[in-house]
Amino acid sequence: MGVLVGKKAPLFEADAVINGNEFVEKFSLEQFIGKKYVLFFFYPEDFTFVCPTEILAFQKRIEEFEKRDVVVVGCSVDSVHAHWTWLNTELKDGGIKGVKYPLVADNSKTIAENYDVLAGEYDYDEETDLSVFDGDPRAYRGLFLIDKQGVVRHQVVNDMPLGRSVDEAIRIIDALQFHEEHGEVCPADWKPGDDAMSETAESVAKYLASH
């Protein structure tokens, strides 16, 4: 599937932990269509090293997402019980206690596969007559901004050692919402308060001349 930008975000139903300690069955992004933007991100694995820095960084800025009408949702291939245990482990002990946004359990790896961030694939071994996994059965650090119509408007996928920027995620949200409100397009490194452009040669020339 590769690039999902401009396409409907793949929907799913899966177990999740919400509010840090509540188990939910059949959690779905569909509940937010028509109501909220969704920042849906994958991380490789619970109880690792780079992952908690990202997960906690999103939680620290959660009010900034909420005031932009954005729901943050995380996902990995771990079980819902692993999520719950990690969410209820103190930070000093390697946990992520205090994180309140949903963490989805993608045990089957189908969500990661549908978003094309699974670091491998299943294959059939004729000798053993078994299905085997070729690669690393975890997700890359994929991040998807989904608008209120359920369409992916931005995606970025990092390799596992490379943490993402929360600032950049917020900047992209601001740019999308500015474009939706004003109809103008946002040039390189645009942030709120900067000049934007209309989609005309004159507007681009004027912008470039003044910058």
91 and 155 fall within a common domain: yes
81 and 175 fall within a common domain: no
95 and 125 fall within a common domain: yes
134 and 189 fall within a common domain: no
115 and 126 fall within a common domain: yes
155 and 169 fall within a common domain: no
Residues 6+ apart with CB under 8 A from 8: 150, 151, 152
Query: The domain that contains 189 carries what CATH number?
Result: 3.30.1020.10
Question: Does residue 139 contact residue 75 with C-beta atoms inside 8 Å?
Answer: yes
Which residues are part of the catalytic machinery? 51
The rounded percent of the chain whose pLDDT value lies above 90 is 83
Distance, in Å, from the CA atom of 111 to the CA atom of 162, rounded to the nearest integer, reads: 21
pLDDT in tens, 176-188: 999 999 999 999 9
Confidence of residue 124 (pLDDT cuts 50, 70, 90): confident
Number of domains in the chain: 2
Distance, in Å, from the CA atom of 47 to the CA atom of 120, rounded to the nearest integer, reads: 21
The answer to whether residue 125 scores a pLDDT higher than 90 is: no
pTM: 0.93
Q: Which domain holds residue 211?
A: 165-211
